[in-house]
Chains A and B, each alone.
Chain A
């Protein structure tokens, strides 16, 4: 269970973007997992991978919550989620800059349509393959890839509109391989 807690928590947090709420949903997920394992009902038979099965339970819990609250677009919490991420041994200026960038990224991801945000979170945080994401979300792999593409392009577009955006990656690269 410990091995899978980070991908599951990353997904839930990416979807609701509220650390306290993510903890509640994470807890709810693992209670459901334990229940299912004890009852051996509707659940995990040791044929498939454990993580996608747990992710499906986490997804159901998360979407149930989002839909019960009647909001397709979750609010951005002001509990400083990004502040909890360690910044390493950077100078205060760099820490501040990184914090601003992270806050911007958080807001931008929150503005993505739910389907795009979900695929982005599942791939980036939970490290599920696109095939696994397609199975989890009951869509074709092309649909999952298409959602990811739009998510990345939308973020790129938002970054372009961002004031004081620093272009850290040169546009012309000799080799893209």
Chain B
């Protein structure tokens, strides 16, 4: 069995050989030991041969291109998979949206029109009767400002407000 202290010194020779010790020179006590000294010379000789003959090997220049090529189908799958997923999600969202809208429309049809508390948006109707009423109101307004009231105007206003023809009286008011 080799003395652990001797083995430690031998390991230190290896470290020194490869420049992994803090000191650049071997300690004097190791140099004075003939066995250690002889071993160091042997090791240094073979390391010199390795350094000389065993040059760094490099892979083929196109090796990285080949690796990228080999990864391409995987990447395409990786791109397609989220695309299919997002399309499925969009389709599902559209179906859900359609169902919700259809359900709302059915509810609106079922409900009475005036029960909604939401303000009713009034849009201008181009229908002839409405235009006619509007023009009459405008006419009345213009005349009321000038104070030119006459029977014809009053009759016209009655027809607008009461919805009756001039000269006729509603049966309910008799």
A53 proximal to B (CB < 8 A): no
A64 proximal to B (CB < 8 A): no
Q: 1/0 per residue B1-45: CB within 8 Å of A?
A: 000000110110111001010001110000100000101111111
Closest-by-CB residue of A relative to B38 is A171
Q: 1/0 per residue B107-142: CB within 8 Å of A?
A: 000000000000000000000000000000000000
Closest-by-CB residue of A relative to B36 is A176
Range of interface residues on chain A? 35 or more
The answer on a CB contact under 8 Å between A149 and B10 is yes
A10 proximal to B (CB < 8 A): yes
Closest-by-CB residue of B relative to A20 is B60
Kindly specify which of A43-51, A68-76, A152-160 makes contact with the partner chain: A152-160
The answer on a CB contact under 8 Å between B49 and A13 is no
Residues of chain A within 8 A of B63, CB atoms compared: 5, 9, 23, 26-27
> Of B7, B56, B60, B67, which is within 8 A of A125 by CB?
B56
Closest-by-CB residue of A relative to B39 is A153
Residues of chain B within 8 A of A91, CB atoms compared: none
The answer on a CB contact under 8 Å between B14 and A85 is no
- Tell whether A130 pairs with B41 under 8 Å between CB atoms, given A27-B66, A155-B46, A159-B49: no
The answer on a CB contact under 8 Å between B67 and A177 is no
Specify the main secondary structure of chain B where it touches its partner.
helix
Residues of chain A within 8 A of B40, CB atoms compared: 176
Q: 1/0 per residue A34-76: CB within 8 Å of B?
A: 1000000000000000000000000000000000000000000
Q: 1/0 per residue B39-69: CB within 8 Å of A?
A: 1111111111111011111111001101100
How many Å lie between the Cα of A30 and that of B66 in the bound state?
Answer: 11
The answer on a CB contact under 8 Å between B43 and A177 is no
B148 proximal to A (CB < 8 A): no
> Of B7, B14, B49, which is within 8 A of A148 by CB?
B14
> Of A9, A102, A142, A169, which is within 8 A of B59 by CB?
A9
Known interface pairs A27-B63, A155-B49; 5 further A-B residue pairs with C-beta atoms within 8 A, sorted by A's residue number: A10-B57, A23-B63, A85-B57, A168-B49, A169-B44
